[in-house]
Structure 1
């Protein structure tokens, strides 16, 4: 089993170029298809100024500007991915709210690769949010950092395991990456003594897929679990983290700063998330 159909959220920014680079690296060994997706709504300036100037004037100018940018993005995608077979490259240009279009489209792909949201983009109406897509799509999202460390995708996978629904979904979605890994480590934080049997079942599951994972059990401290996941990955030399997204509500994580938000904000290796 491998990923044969990979979607990339692509806007020709530094972040989306990083996502495309990761998608290409995953696609080449199996000659998988890679599809770039540009999703775009109307820019906020249309709503801000449409009432003050003639509607047709605003719409015409914004449409021309958007059309030029969309053409640039499409050309950049094929230029950046030009070393892949032409029949394995595809591009979609979809009008609508970016997150909604990405969520809808990702359900027809094995994996969606995204860079972090560019909060300073000149075209914010073309920017999607990987955390939102991971939570709502029902499909895995691979977050590609803009400046990955040298160990990124080095064949050592770290699974952040809490036994929850989201973590279980992430592991199932990531099996192609787990089975191709040279080393698999499993991190549990604050596990109780009575959790040992459940952990044994999980490691047995991985063994039956041909892997002998190393279990790392750390106590829960006052520090953030997201930081613990990333620091552990750095300490053991892992090049990919697999984790569940938003085991608690997104509202709670946004309000109080949860694991998912912390990892997305600070990751310097790819993070596969599912919900």
Structure 2
């Protein structure tokens, strides 16, 4: 995971996003590349786009880009991160002088190993769900979703929410560098939840062949939903990273009926690695 993309915009949890990106970069000697993020403005304004964005002047947009750049570079300098990185040490760079939209994150993110984003806020507050979904559905790359509270570590104790799905299998493949460095990995299966596919024990045995310290556990789903059950078990295990495939049900079905991904996007208090 040598190439990390961090879309930057001023919001309450941006410090946690940068902290998380730096934790990953420190483990892999990665370059963190930041750019200024703003929502796409379609012909008809989307419900989660602040109406103020539609009337931003060019100067206001330039000011926002500069504010984002200063925030990003100020954080890196305060943490002792250099632009010209030493081999196997974290480094950073800033990309461009304009405001980039969500759709650009979806396309440009394809050339990165990881995209780090904040947990979506409420109403029109950033981070936006539109940014997360653009990265998930358009980049083909994994995202690290970071909660508002800054994590102390990422990837020491990992929980995999295994449901046998293609999406989760793909996410695990992306996560192999992290899994290889973890001190403990739990493969969680919830009874009565999941797609037709290999069991948690079958996954665990293959991870162990790769030298990963994995253990399979199965729990009854005492919570009201799979999402609640997953987060309860992650908290009980004291996981510092949760791995889960995103939207194994359709987004429309999750919007109407709810789903594990929707619940985790809204309520996770631990960093979550997701891919679709």
Say yes or no: TM over 0.5: yes
- Structure 1 residues 16 and 245 mapped into 2: Cα distance closer, same or farther (>3 Å)? same
Which residue in the other structure is 1:84 paired with?
81
Provide the residue aligned with 2:172 in structure 1: 171
**Of 31-40 and 239-248, the range deviating more from structure 2:** 31-40
Q: Is the 8 A contact 2:188 2:200 kept in 1?
A: no
Q: C-alpha deviations, 1:187-210, integer Å up to 9, x for none? A: 011259xx8964333112101111
Show the counterpart of 1:51. Answer: none
1:73 has 2:68 as partner: yes
Matches within 5 A, 1:1-275: 3-40=1-38, 41=40, 44-45=51-52, 62-82=57-77, 83-87=80-84, 88-93=91-96, 98-119=101-122, 129-148=131-150, 152-153=153-154, 155-190=156-191, 198-221=199-222, 223-275=224-276
What is the deviation of 1:34? 0.3
Residues 93 and 250 (structure 1), Cα distance of their counterparts in 2 relative to 1, 3 Å cut: farther
Q: TM-score, normalised by structure 2?
A: 0.83
For 2:37, what is the secondary structure of its paired residue? strand
CA contact (8 A) 1:106 1:139 kept: yes
Once the two structures are superposed, what CA deviation does each residue of 1:53-108 show, in whole Å capped at 9, x if it has no partner?
A: xxxxx6xx611111111111111110011121212311224767722111111101
* Greater radius of gyration (CA): 1
Shift of 1:29: 3.1
Structure 1 residue 125 displacement after superposition: 10
Please say if residues 36 and 92 of structure 1, whose CA atoms lie closer than 8 Å, have aligned partners that are also in contact.
Answer: yes
Report the alpha carbon displacement of residue 15 of structure 1 after superposing the two structures with TM: 2.1
The total of aligned residue pairs comes to 257
Seen in structure 2, the aligned counterparts of structure 1 residues 212 and 196 have a Cα distance that, compared at 3 Å, is farther
Specify whether residues 250 and 215 from structure 1 end up closer, same or farther in structure 2 by C-alpha distance, changes over 3 A only.
same
TM-score, normalised with respect to structure 1: 0.84
Shift of 1:46: 6.8
Q: Greater helix share, 1 or 2? A: 1
- Conservation of the 8 A alpha-carbon contact between 1:38 and 1:126: no
Match for residue 44 of structure 2? none
Uncovered stretches (5+) of structure 2, i.e. residues with no partner: 42-49, 85-90
* 1:264 Cα deviation from its structure 2 partner: 1.2
> How far is 1:231 from its partner?
0.6
Structure 2 distance, partners of 1:73, 1:185, is 37
Unaligned runs of 5+ in 1: 48-57
Cα RMSD between the aligned structures?
2.7
- Give, in angstroms, the shift of residue 8 of structure 1: 0.8
**SS in structure 2 at match of 1:34:** strand
